[in-house]
Structure formats: structure tokens, C-alpha cells
Amino acid sequence: MSYIVLQFTNQVSANAMTTQNYGSFNGMTTTQFSPGDLVAVQESFGRALFQGDVIGRFYEILLASHPDIPPMFHKTNFSKQRELLTQGINLMVLYAKGKAIGKSGLNRIRYTHNKSHYNIHPNLYKYWKESLIKTLLEFDEKINPEILISWNKVIDHSLKYIMEGYYD
Ligand code: HEM
């Protein structure tokens, strides 16, 4: 099992976007979600939250993942902003479901994170994704390669949309 997961996470890194190719994250142009993917993601996140401080651990991993990231959060009060990750994942699921509220929520993130605002370069989103996957591997005791595929689909679909707004 750990071998399979390791193989899978290597694939996640190998699939990660490059500077030249951030417009088609993971080379995907269309994404098909089954209701099973969305249920798998929601249940996985629920199990992880139940296990402990997922959000604290996610930010710990994210901040350590790239030297450009910690300064971006220097004004952030994490105890007040604990819901950022949960909010982001809920929006990703709603967006994957094709709900208008998901798209309008992601539009807000796309705007606040673009070049003229927080200036989160598209190259950095792979660290966000890898940090989330690493956190899930630690906290969701039922995680398996199939659930990780569902996570990848849901995350990639939203990250692609957010990254495409970088120069807006
Ligand atoms: C490496 C990638 C990312 C970095 C460096 C980053 C950085 C930030 C920063 C600095 C803030 C402001 C926090 C504050 O108010 O002090 C923020 C807010 C936020 N981020 Fe991110 N972010 C990243 C990716 C994402 C992703 C992928 C999502 C979810 C889809 C997300 C969701 C949010 C939300 C919901 C907020 C609060 C609302 C807002 O300010 O737009 N972030 N982020």
C-alpha cells in the first residue's frame, strides 16, 4: 500500500505544471467528474478533519515547501483564518459540480490571488497541491490511489481556472 501511494505521489509531482505549461495543468483540457469523485473527496476531507489539526499541518507543509511562500503570509493571522483551506476545498467541490456559487467563489480567489493582488505566480500552485496531498496522506487513514485520483481531478480543475486569471 505505501509503495502504491509513494508511486502515486511521485506521479503527482511529475505531473506538476511547468512555467511554459501552466495553462493546461496536468495536460488536461477537459475534466469528467463522476459523482463518486466528489463524494470521495468530501468524505476523505471529512475523515482527515476528524483526525486532528489538518489545517495547521497543511500550512506548516505549505510554508516549508517553497521559500517564496512564507513572506506572502506574513500578515496572516492563522488562528483567525483557519477556514481558508476548508473554504477553498468546498469551493473546488462546488465548482467541480458545475454550481454557479462555486464559480463565483473561485472568481473571487482568482482575482485576489492574481498578479495585481497577492501575486501568486502559477508556478506556486503545484506546492499548494503537493502540500494538500501530503497532509491527506498523513490524516486520512483510508486514503488510497483511487481517492487520490479523485482529489487530483477536483484540485486540477480549479487550479487551472485560478491560474488562468493570473494576468487579468
Ligand atoms: C501557493 C498557492 C497559494 C498561496 C501562496 C496563497 C496565498 C494566500 C494569501 C497570502 C492569502 C491572504 C491571507 C490573509 O488574508 O492574510 C490567501 C487567501 C485566501 N486563499 Fe490562498 N493562496 C494559495 C492558493 C490558494 C488556493 C489554491 C485556494 C483555494 C482554491 C486558496 C484560497 C484562499 C482563500 C479562500 C483565501 C481568503 C479569501 C481571499 O483573500 O481571497 N488559496 N491566500
CATH of the domain at 160: 1.10.490.10
Query: Could you tell me if residue 14 is inside a domain?
Result: no
Say which residues have a Cβ less than 8 Å from residue 37's Cβ, sequence separation at least 6.
96, 149, 150, 153, 154
Query: Could you tell me if residue 22 is inside a domain?
Result: no
**Number of domains composing the chain:** 1
Which range of residues forms the domain containing residue 155? Answer: 2-9+34-164
Residue with cell 481556472: 161
Say which residues have a Cβ less than 8 Å from residue 168's Cβ, sequence separation at least 6.
110, 111, 114, 116
What's the confidence (pLDDT) of residue 29? 44
The residue to mutate among 119, 120, 151, 161, having the most atoms of ligand 1 within 8 angstroms of its beta carbon, is 120
Q: Check if 75 has its Cβ closer than 6 Å to any atom of ligand 1.
A: yes
Query: Could you tell me if residue 15 is inside a domain?
Result: no
- 71-90 pLDDT, tens digit per residue, is 999 999 988 887 899 999 99
Query: Could you tell me if residue 56 is inside a domain?
Result: yes
* Calpha distance 5→73 (Å, rounded): 30
Please, which pLDDT band fits residue 62 given cuts at 50, 70 and 90? very high
pLDDT of 6 higher than 80? no
* Ligand 1 center from residue 84 Cα (angstroms): 7
Query: Could you tell me if residue 29 is inside a domain?
Result: no
Query: Could you tell me if residue 63 is inside a domain?
Result: yes
* Ligand 1 center from residue 139 Cα (angstroms): 22
The residue to mutate among 59, 112, 155, having the most atoms of ligand 1 within 8 angstroms of its beta carbon, is 112
pLDDT of 7 higher than 70? no
Query: Could you tell me if residue 25 is inside a domain?
Result: no
Query: Could you tell me if residue 127 is inside a domain?
Result: yes
